[in-house]
Structure 1
Amino acid sequence: MKLKPSIIFYMFAVIGSLLLAAALYLYQDKQAFFKKAEVVQGTVTELLRSRSDKSIMYRPVVEFETKSGKKAEFTSSVASNPASYNVGEKVEVLYDPVNPAKADINGFSALYLGPLILGIIGTVFILISFISILFRHLKQKKTKYLLDNGKRIVTKFENIQLNSDIKVNNRNPFQICSRWLNPNTNELHIFKSEDIWFDPTEFIKTEEIKVIIDPNDPKKYLMDTSFLPNLSR
C-alpha cells in the first residue's frame, strides 16, 4: 500500500519529534550521570575492532581503579576511525560510584555525541516535514486563488517532456507544455503542467489546452489537466 505524500510528511514530523525527545532524554541522563560521577584516571588497555560501512572502527577498553580501590573496566560507547586513543594512554574517567561498571571517558564524544546526533537527525526530519507541508499549503492556496480569481485562456499544445529536475525510484515525471501569445503585450508564454507520473500522450485529443492565469501576472498559472484519468494508487 502506497502512502499519500501528506501522510509521509506528517510521519516525518512524528519521527523527528520522537528523535528530539530521545535526544533530550539522553542528554538529561548524561547530565544526571555527570553530576553524581566520580573522576579518576584510567588506562586504555585494548582497542576493540568492529566493521561499519566497510570501515574498521576502534572502541577503547579502559581499566581504572575506583576511589575505594576497586578495579573496574569498561568499553567506551564511542567508536572511531582512526582510533581516538592509543593502548597505554592515560584518560580521565567518569564512573558511577554505586555502579562502577557504568563509566565512560570524560570527553565530548562520549558524553554528548549521542544526543547531538539524535538532535541533528530529528531536526532534519522536522525541517523536511515543515518545509514540505508549507510548500503544499502555499500550492493549495495558489490553486484556490487562481480558481476563484484567475482568467481562463486557451493555449496551444506544444509537447510532452520529462521533468529532469525530479526523479523518484529512478523515474522522471512527465509535463505537458503549451504556448500562448498574449495579445495585449505580444509576449509568448510557455506553460507547463504539474508533474504527471504516467505518459499522457494518448489522452491528448486536441491542440487546445486550457490554462488559468493570474490576470495581473501570467507567470502565475494553473494548467487544467482534468481531461487526464486519475492514476490509481
Structure 2
Amino acid sequence: MDQGVSRLKVSSAIKYGFSIVGLITLVSGVVAYQKSSRFVEEAFSVQGKVVDYQTSVGEGVTHYKAVVEFVGDDGEKHRLLSTIASNPPAYDEGEMVEVLHPRGHPQDAKINGFLEVWGVATAMFGLGVPFFAVGVIMFLASGYQLRRNKNLKTSGALVSAQFQSVRCNYSLSFNGRNPFVIVCHWLNPETQKLHVFESENIWFNPERLIAGKAIDVYIRHGHPEKYYVDISFLPQVAA
C-alpha cells in the first residue's frame, strides 16, 4: 500500500478490529445489565400517570416521549421523561404506569418498561455479539485457509499459470481502500480446459511486479477448482 502497510497487517487489523470492538461492546453490555439489575432490585416502586408528550420530528415522522407525573419516596410530585421515542406513542395520555427510582433519588426515575430499563444492555449485546462473532469467524477462516494452503503446497500438483490481470475487489473495504486480486489462467493439457485462478486479497496493486510472469498455482489432484495461488514472491509491503 502507499502508506507501506503490509498484507498481513491489514488482514490482522480487520480481524482484531472486529473482535476487539465486539468484546468491548459485550463487556459494556454486561456492565449495563448489572447496573440495570441493581437498579431494579433496589428501586422504590410507585404508580405514575402519563400527563403529556414531548415530540420531535425526524424525516417527516413525529416521535413521542411520554411525560409521567409521580409522587416519589420523598412525598413530592415529580416528572420524568421517557427515554424511548416512538410513533405511535408507547403510552396513552392518562395511562397509569409503574415508575422505579433509586431510594432518595426520584430525579433518576424510569418507567418500568423493558426498553426503558434494559434498553442500553440490549443494544450493547445486539451490537457486540455480531461484531465479536464476525471477528471469531474471520480468525477461524484464516486458520482454515492457512492449513488448506499448506496442504495444497505439500500434497497438491504445481502448475504454471499465466498472469492475465489485476482486478479490484470492491466487495471488501478497509479505511476507504479496496484490495486487489491477481487473475491468472491455466490450460489443462489433459482436458484442454481453461481454468481461471484468483489470488487472495492483496492490499497494494502488484501489477508492475508480475506483468508477463508465470505464477505458481497449487491444485488438488483431480480437482483443479481447489487451488492456491502462490503470491509469496510478492513483498509484504509495497515498494
Under TM normalisation by the shorter chain, which class is it? 0.7 to 0.9
Asked whether 1:140 is paired with 2:146, we answer yes
Partner in structure 2 of residue 46 of structure 1: 52
Encode CA deviations 1:11-46: one digit per residue, 9 max, x unaligned: 432332222222222222222222233332212233
- 8 Å CA contact 2:166–2:207 kept in 1: the answer is yes
C-alpha distance in structure 1 between counterparts of 2:20 and 2:233, whole Å: 37
**What per-residue deviation string (whole Å, max 9, x for no partner) do you get for residues 38-78 of structure 1?**
33221223333457788664332221013663322222233
Determine if contact 2:84/2:115 at 8 Å carries over to the other structure: yes
RMSD over aligned CA atoms reads: 3.1
Aligned length: 233
Is residue 96 of structure 2 the alignment partner of residue 77 of structure 1?
A: no
**Counterpart residue number, 2:180:** 174
Give distance in 1, aligned partners of 2:122 and 2:65: 19
1:232 — aligned with what?
A: 238
- Counterpart contact for 1:203–1:227, Cα < 8 Å: no
The alignment partner of 1:210 has SS state of strand
Q: Is the 8 A contact 2:42 2:102 kept in 1?
A: yes
Aligned-partner SS, 1:34: helix
Are residue 221 (structure 1) and residue 227 (structure 2) matched?
yes
Identity %: 35
Q: TM-score, normalised by structure 1?
A: 0.80
1:12 aligns with 2:18: yes
Structure with larger RCO (C-alpha < 8 A, sep 6+): 2
Change (3 A) 1:220 1:54: farther
| Map of 1:89 onto structure 2 | 95
- For 1:123, the equivalent position in structure 2 comes to 129
- The change in CA–CA distance for 1:81 and 1:194 in structure 2 (over 3 A counts) is same
Distance (whole Å) between structure 2 residues aligned to residue 160 and residue 11 of structure 1: 27
* Structure 2 residue 40 is matched with structure 1 residue 34: yes
